Amino acid sequence: MLSLVIAVSDKSEIEPSTRIEFQPFWGLAALASVAALWRYAPSGLWLLLFIGIIVLCHEAGHLVVARKAGMRPTEFCWGFGPQIVAFNHNGCRYGIRALFLGGYVKLWGMTPSSVLPADFEERHSYRAASHLGRLATILAGPFVNLVMAVAAFAIARSLQGESAGQALLAGLDDLWFVIEATGVALWTWVTNLGSYAGAVFGSSGAEPPVRFMSPLAQAQQTGEVVAGGWVGSLQWFGILSAAIGGVNLLPLPPLDGAHAMVTVSEWLGQKGMRNRSLRLDVKRLEPLAYLTLALLIVLSVSALVLDLRAVGIG
């Protein structure tokens, strides 16, 4: 695969140069995908932009706090799949990948038994940090999303004529409303799985007790709010950011809430048993992580089925 490497001098940095690696093929493929979305499904491109900003800021929260806690992240990426562009700076590799559907920060030592690279010092690992440092690192991502949601709601209120103080308080109220509504919807779905399955697989066309939006419906909604102006766009952005931040706080692996739960449980166990060597391994929750991912996939696919049926397809 053809790749380009560009050296950019910068005397103000610790490193003498920054090597920028670029994969032209995947860059052109991503550009073509974006152009196709803009031509045939611009609402999908707007949704991708909204989600991209939310995810990028979420991962940046993890990155910044991890460094403050003494950890050394080695990779920060937006997207998954083949690499488009990347560069190394201060021991961390920053990059953009071809599938703009998420992002991640690479932290070593996430479990007590994980093996570190030969040139990586234990003191910079996740497991070597204090419980407070680990908890702050994990919660930083969802916290950034919640703050972004409040800011978006408040700015939207300001554009509607409310004062700064009123807009901020209203933004906090809007955040709580979204989190509460999301929690109620999830609980309703869990406690009415039979009715939901009947609505998805049945032929009666009955409405399920709760309806989640598939990416198709989310894209359509995004296109409509963008066409309606700044107020609606900011409100919708706030809803997406609040929902992503709130869901990530659920104590289910592989979500951030599970890592936070393990950290707090380990700290309480060490205090209660007076045994500082006690370690809890989040890796033991892997079966539950696979189950969570499977449920999310089922929820997304079933939501798509219902949305397609609502427009007369299927």
pLDDT confidence of residue 7: 41
Strands 4-9 and 75-89, sheet pairing: unpaired
Question: What CA–CA distance (Å, rounded) separates 123 from 105?
Answer: 18
**Which residues make Cβ contacts (< 8 Å) with residue 77, sequence separation at least 6?**
86, 93, 94, 95, 96, 97, 103, 104, 106
Question: What CA–CA distance (Å, rounded) separates 71 from 291?
Answer: 30
Write out pLDDT tens, residues 292-310.
889 888 888 888 888 887 7
Q: Which is nearest to 23 in space by CA: 96, 101, 76?
A: 96
Write out pLDDT tens, residues 140-151.
999 999 999 999
Question: What CA–CA distance (Å, rounded) separates 124 from 109?
Answer: 9
**Residue 280: pLDDT band with limits 50, 70, 90:** confident
Distances (CA, A) of 121 to 63, 71, 132, 181, 195: 18, 10, 20, 44, 53
Write out pLDDT tens, residues 14-58.
444 468 899 999 999 999 999 999 999 999 999 999 999 999 999
- pTM for the model stands at 0.89
Q: Which two tokens stand for residue 108?
A: 């070593």
Asked whether residue 160 carries a pLDDT value surpassing 60, the answer given is: yes
Higher pLDDT, 273 or 229: 229
Asked whether residue 290 carries a pLDDT value surpassing 70, the answer given is: yes
Write out pLDDT tens, residues 169-221.
999 999 999 999 888 888 888 888 888 888 888 755 677 888 788 888 999 99
Strands (E) in 10-69, as ranges, are 17-22
pLDDT confidence of residue 13: 41
Q: Tell me what percent of the residues of the chain surpass a pLDDT of 70.
A: 92
Average pLDDT, the chain: 88
Asked whether residue 3 carries a pLDDT value surpassing 80, the answer given is: no
Strands 92-106 and 17-22, sheet pairing: unpaired
Helix, strand, coil percent content, the chain, rounded in steps of 5: 60, 15, 25
pLDDT confidence of residue 53: 95
pLDDT confidence of residue 156: 97
**Residue 313: pLDDT band with limits 50, 70, 90:** low
**Residue 239: pLDDT band with limits 50, 70, 90:** very high
Asked whether residue 126 carries a pLDDT value surpassing 90, the answer given is: yes
| pLDDT, average across residues 126-148 | 97
Question: What CA–CA distance (Å, rounded) separates 78 from 49?
Answer: 12
